[in-house]
Every structure is written in C-alpha cells, then in structure tokens.
Amino acid sequence: MKKPRHKLAALLPAYFPIAYKLALVFTLLISSGMALLGLFIVHNQSNLLEQQVSESGNTLLRQMAEFSREPLLANDHLSLEIIVNNLVAEESILGAALYNENRVAIAKKGVVPDDIRMAAALGRVVKLEWQTPSAAGEQDEVISFFSRIAFKDVTAGYALITFDRRLRAQAQQETIRAVVGATLLLVVLGFIASFILGRRLTRPIHQLINAGRAITAGDYHVRLDVQRKDELGFLMHSMNEMTEGLLHKEKVEQTFSRYVSPNVAKALLSNMHQVELGGQHVEASVLFADIVGFTRLSEQLHPEEVNSLLNEYFSIIAQAAHGYGGHVDKYIGDCAMLVFGVPEHDPKHSLQAALCAITIQELIKVLNREREQQGLTQVQFRIGINSGMMLAGNMGTTERMDYTVVGDVVNTASRLAAVAGAGEILISEALNQQLKPQGVICSRFKKFRLKGKAEPVVTYHVTGVDETHQLAHDSNLRLLHETITSKNG
C-alpha cells in the first residue's frame, strides 16, 4: 500500500512555493464550487423548461380542443386544416394533428407519431417522448402531447401537438457555456489573485528563510524590517531577538576565548549547567616554555617594550600549540604552559607536544633573526615536557575558578623547563620511551635532582625528527610561519 504513495511523492517537485499552493487550492475550490453551481443551475433549468413545455402543451391542447370541437362534430375538414396549419406555424411546434373518435387523422401537418394507440382518458393529457429521423440522418428528440376532445361526455375526437426538444437542449447548452465561461473567468481571476496574495504572504517567509540561512552561515548581524502587525510580524520580531541573543553569545564566546583556550571555552559553554569545582584523572601531556634571563631583561627594558616582546613571542607559541592540537593553559609571567590531550582526548598527545616544542624553537630562531635585522631585542626559550596521568578540571573557589591541570607530571615538566638551557627541550625518561618509536630524535642528557623528587631524574634532550617525518614537519612549520606572518601583517 505504501509503494504508490512513494511513487506519487517521487513525481512531486522537491520545492513547491506556497504561492502556487494557494493558487492551486483557490483554483480547485472555485472550479468545484462552479461545477456544483452549474449542475444545480442546469438541473433546475431542465426541470423548469420541462415544466414550461408541459404547461404550454396542456394550454395549446385545451385551446386546440376548444377551437376544433365544433368543426369535428360538423366534420368541417377545412376549418380543422386551418387550425393545424396555424399551430405548426409556431417555431417551437413541429407538428399537429386532429383525429376523429376512431383515431383516424382528419387533419395533420408536420411531425406526428405514426402510432397513437395510447390511453386518453377524460380530462387527461398523455405525454409521449420519441425520436424522429432528421435531414442529417440523425435522430431528433421530440415530445408530443395527446388529449381527448369531448363534448358533453361524447368523444368528438383527439388532438396532438409535437414540440421540438432541441430548443430545451440548446438552452441547456447555452447555460452550460455560460457557466463554463464564468468558471474559467473566475478561475483565472482567482488564480491571479491567489498568486499575488501568496507572493505577498510568502515575502516575509522568504525573508525569514534568508535570515535563517545567514544565521546558519554564522552571520548574526542580519536583521529583519518588521512592519507587519500579524503572526508573521511577531515571528520576525522573535527572529530578530534570537539573532541579537546569538550575536551577544558569540561576543561572549570570543571574549571568553581570549582568556581561556577555545577548546576549553567550548567545553565549558556546552556544559554550563555542570560547571563545578573538581576534575578527573586524564592521560595528557604538558609543556612549559620559559624565557631565558627574563629577570635581567625586564630590568633593562621599558615596561611597554617588555609587554610588546612577550606578546610577539607568546603569539608564536599560541599558534604552534593550536597547530598541534594543544592549547595555552596559562601564562605565568615569562612562562607559557601548554596542555595536549585535554579537554578533548588525543591519543597522540605526547607526540604532538614534542613536535610543538621543536616547532616553537625553530619559529623562535626565525623571529630572532627578523628582530635582529630590525635592531630589536631577541630572547631564547627553554622548554620542558612531561606526559602521564594528571588531574584536569576546575580549580579554585566557587566564586573564582580556573580550568587547568595539576599533578606530579605537571610539576616535573615545570622543573625540566627550569633546568634546561637556552634553546633546549628536555623530557623525562618515560616520555623518551614513548617518543622513540614515533620518529622523534632524543639523546640522553643529564641526571638532575629536581625539587620535590627524592631521586635524581634522568633527562633527554629532544633534537628533532628523523628523515621519515622531516618532510611533514617542514611542511607544518612552513604553514605555521605563513599563518603567523599573515596575522602580523
């Protein structure tokens, strides 16, 4: 049972405007209404014409009987012929005949039935519908009225009159043509009126559709000109209010993302009803990038120069973190803390952190050469990376909280950055075991007794990537450099 419906749906257009739907509905309503009205008019007219023919037949038969009674009794054939001829002269009368008491025609003219064997009781008119051959070889429908002529209960004879039924058919056809013409005119006018009305009604709907598409594309500045005082006007006003709210939300998100990582901001905004203190243990990587000799440098430069320097170098670090799926957790003075694998899990977080560190050092070298050519101060970074289990979540108080990661792994990464030299990247032995199969070149460096650690920690120096990964790394480095250059103008 469902297949025909699917076939019908396949034949329908994918998009059918409301204006056309209204025009189609109005056309169907007008056509149906006029068809019913036409049937009613034709039916009533047929009954009326039938009644008029019957009344005319009865009246003429009575007059014919009145005029022919005495001639029939007197057997005056001439008078009877005159009566018949005068009747047939009428346009609507095809024939007439007068019969004696034995039903033998005394006078007749025109179309009369050959067989008149019928009942003709006293005072009763018999109606006979029959067909007669026409000149074109077709059958013409006629109707005859037959009545007894009596004189003091004595049958003087019989009278017959035949009427042309084509006049009634012509009248019906004219009525049908008039109804069809009026229907077509009303259908055309109704279609035009409904189409114009549909276009006027759908104009604000199209505006709403265009506004919805613009909002879907991210344009929250679109506004609708609300002048209507109806349901559509209310809907357009609601659309403007919704767009205003979305624009405000977008500005809040943009502002929020300047202070918090976009990934973190997205996670927090999508679960605002669940924002509370606490966190969960996750497997992630953390990177600390610290400026070498920043204290001495800050004493030599003006605060504005220090601020400009930090912004320029930290922007490179932020771009590199974003390029490798990480984010800046926070800036701590002259140090940037990057996190990988949080809040969105990344199974390659340790590799991403190592590649990001290598990229940062290479981008810093490029920037230092550019600043040297401009006669500006250059700095170098030391980087420490560690990977493992840590606590990620909202830390602080209910009034002031910060989404970050804490734990021994984080502290170790910070200590590694503190003991690294200028331009160096230090990692733990455990992280070295993870990176070695992934194409990162590491060399054993030194053992350091780090703060908070009972035993000395074996460190490894990250120097680059092997030949199999060098091409992809160079491509990423070039793209990041082009992105940073385009943003800095």
Sorted by sequence, the CB contacts under 8 Å of residue 380 that are 6+ apart come out as 291, 292, 364, 368, 422, 423
Give tens-digit pLDDT for 231-263: 777 777 787 888 887 777 777 666 655 555 666
pLDDT for 265: 59
The CA-atom distances, in angstroms, between 47 and each of 42, 91, 278 are 9, 21, 92
pLDDT for 29: 82
Contact 416, 449 (CB under 8 A): no
pLDDT for 89: 86
Element (H, E) at 415: helix 408-419
- Whose structure tokens read 């609507």? 92
Contact 138, 159 (CB under 8 A): no
Give tens-digit pLDDT for 69-87: 888 888 888 999 998 998 8
Give tens-digit pLDDT for 372-424: 999 999 999 999 999 999 998 887 776 667 778 899 999 999 999 999 999 99
- The token duo for 361 is 């050092």
Whether the per-residue pLDDT at 451 is higher than 70: the answer is yes
pTM of the model: 0.53
Cβ-in-10-Å burial (0-12, 13-18, 19+) of 489 comes to: exposed
Q: Which of 132, 174, 163, 233 is nearest to 46 (CA)?
A: 174
- The token duo for 452 is 């908070």
pLDDT for 287: 96
Instruction: Please give the average per-residue pLDDT across 445-465, as a whole number.
Output: 86
Give tens-digit pLDDT for 114-158: 766 554 444 577 888 888 776 666 777 888 888 888 888 788 889
- The token duo for 346 is 């990344």
For the chain, domains (ranges, CATH) are 20-171 (3.30.450.20), 218-258 (no CATH), 276-487 (3.30.70.1230)
Rounded-to-integer distance, Cα 47 and Cα 70, Å: 36
Is the pLDDT higher at 54 or at 361?
361
Whether the per-residue pLDDT at 31 is higher than 90: the answer is no
Element (H, E) at 355: helix 349-373
b/e per residue 98-116 (b: at least 16 CB within 10 A): bbbeeeebbbbbbbbbeeb
SS3 category, 74:
helix
Is the pLDDT higher at 398 or at 465?
465
Sorted by sequence, the CB contacts under 8 Å of residue 385 that are 6+ apart come out as 285, 286, 287, 288, 353, 354, 357, 413, 416, 425, 426, 427, 431, 462
Give tens-digit pLDDT for 402-415: 778 899 999 999 99
Contact 349, 340 (CB under 8 A): yes
Rounded-to-integer distance, Cα 213 and Cα 130, Å: 73
Sorted by sequence, the CB contacts under 8 Å of residue 383 that are 6+ apart come out as 287, 288, 289, 290, 357, 360, 361, 417, 420, 424, 425, 426
Instruction: Please give the average per-residue pLDDT across 210-227, as a whole number.
Output: 78
What is the C-alpha radius of gyration for the chain, rounded to an integer number of angstroms? Answer: 53
Mean pLDDT of the chain: 82
Sorted by sequence, the CB contacts under 8 Å of residue 462 that are 6+ apart come out as 354, 357, 358, 385, 425, 426, 427, 435, 440, 441, 442
pLDDT for 28: 82
pLDDT for 120: 47
Instruction: Please give the average per-residue pLDDT across 21-34, as a whole number.
Output: 78
Q: Which of 100, 139, 131 is nearest to 114 (CA)?
A: 131
- The token duo for 339 is 């996190």
Of 37-41, 56-60, 274-278, 443-447, the range with the lowest mean pLDDT is: 274-278
